[in-house]
Amino acid sequence: MRIFCILLALPLVCGVALSVFAADRVFTPYASVKPVLDQPSDLLPAELGNPNEAKWSAWSQRHDKAIRARLQEGDLDSMVNLLLYGTSFTKQPRIKLEALTEASKAGILRARVDDLVAGLRSPGDNERLIFLNGLLRSQGIDPSSPGETGVFIYNNLGRVIQEIGTLAKRAEEAKRLTQPAQPDAAVDPSAIFNWRPGLFRDRGVSLDTGIFPNFSIEQALRDLKNRGVLREGQVARVAVIGPGLDFIDKNEDASYDYYPQQTLQPFALYDSLVRLGLAKANAVSMSIFDISSRVIDHIQRARERARMNVPNTGYVIQLPRQVAPAWPPDLIAYWSSLGDRVGTEVTPIPPPTAFQGLETRALRIRPDVVLSLHPVDLNIVLERMNLAESDRFDLIVATNIFIYYDAFERSLALENAGAMLKRGGLLLTNDRLPEVPGGSMRLDGVTDVQYNHDSIGWYRKR
């Protein structure tokens, strides 16, 4: 792969990028995974009973394919979210899940299905419909056949509704198990950090993204700075695991499809690091690890456009927010300043009339910031980069990722992240990861984020 470093004044950033790309991407070696496999046998997959190197190698390669296959089901979940909340293909009102029965009786659901079927048959330049058209064809569905397409959409809607019911029961049970033993005992402010992990362990892997996890990360970074855990200018080498692609969110209050697909977390993280003084502007190298070819390709295309550096073009992010329900002042302040260290304000795309009380911002990200992103296809559960100590990361961020994996998979991911961190480096995540006896990573603390019931744990490389 040719790597272009046009920022000649930034040899540090270019050098780090080259060293990361030159590194080997490997499946976790058996010697490294042995402490994880030595855990109680009831945590291990049946195929890894009495493990040895041959068993581990065969299982890890099979399981990598199985994890990647879950992306397609996540894309079908996004199709259902588009059906319920999308505005780019229909003028019908959006449908809340709790009002689905009423919408069905009123004919709104049928009308939205018909409009989505028509859009999939003739997607025009709607990039979401173009993608779903190809997705249906990969499932053996012909989008030009309305009856077949409609049945497929209804079947997936039914599947998602059934999964939501199962997940709600699982979440309630997990919450119950993490409640204080005594009724009058204080509730652990980071309780969600303990019960959330693995909630989606048998669901499709979705690319949903939005502003809230990025607010949580900035809160955690500020907390770490205030505690002296991170120092001024300390962070230069960063990785983001699974930054997501804003197709349409499963949460109605954050579901929009009136603007092009975008990734937000890499730019939000860069912005936070510079705002807090933890990184120097123009001195951040950021690797993006993802198993989704859509995310990898999206960032590669953004880099290609940034390389051309044509005035008034480049990567633009849209930042809509619902005025009601009201956000707390610190979240509004975050939204209002997000991106001011990595881009410039531009006129936002006007939202459809269906959105009342929507406030919007938009920013054009500087080309040098876009070029600081280096996408790498990597499955954090089963793979790592072989990096020299000098090339390892100061910080790795992964939000809303480990919720898709069971305890064994999360313990593997924790150690793979540790293998790519410098000694003393940090992994920030909003899911608890099982620490491995004799492993390299330990939970150092948790930042409780008051809004959105989120908590960010900080794992340190020993």
What is the tens place of the pLDDT at every residue in 53-97? Answer: 999 999 999 999 999 999 999 999 999 999 999 999 999 999 999
- pLDDT value at position 202? 86
Q: What angle do CA 397, 401, 402 make, to 5 degrees?
A: 105
From 3-12, 159-168, 300-309, the region with the lowest mean pLDDT? 3-12
> Does residue 238 contact residue 397 with C-beta atoms inside 8 Å?
yes
What is the tens place of the pLDDT at every residue in 13-29? Answer: 454 454 555 578 999 99
- pLDDT value at position 186? 57
Kindly list the domain boundaries of the chain, sorted by start residue.
Answer: 11-25+198-461, 66-195
Query: Percent of the chain, pLDDT > 70?
Result: 91
Pairing state between β 393-398 and 237-241: parallel
> Does residue 62 contact residue 122 with C-beta atoms inside 8 Å?
no
pTM recorded for the entire structure = 0.91
More confident residue, 13 or 33: 33
Where b means 16+ CB within 10 Å and e means fewer, 256-270 reads bbbbebbbbbbbbbb
What is the tens place of the pLDDT at every residue in 37-46? Answer: 987 777 789 8
Distance between CA atoms of residues 401 and 379, nearest Å: 11
333, pLDDT greater than 50: yes
Give the side-chain half-sphere CA count within 13 A for 220.
29
> Does the domain spanning 11-25+198-461 belong to CATH 3.90.1150.10?
no
> Does residue 294 contact residue 207 with C-beta atoms inside 8 Å?
yes
Mean pLDDT to the nearest integer, 318-322? 94
**Average of per-residue pLDDT values in the chain:** 90
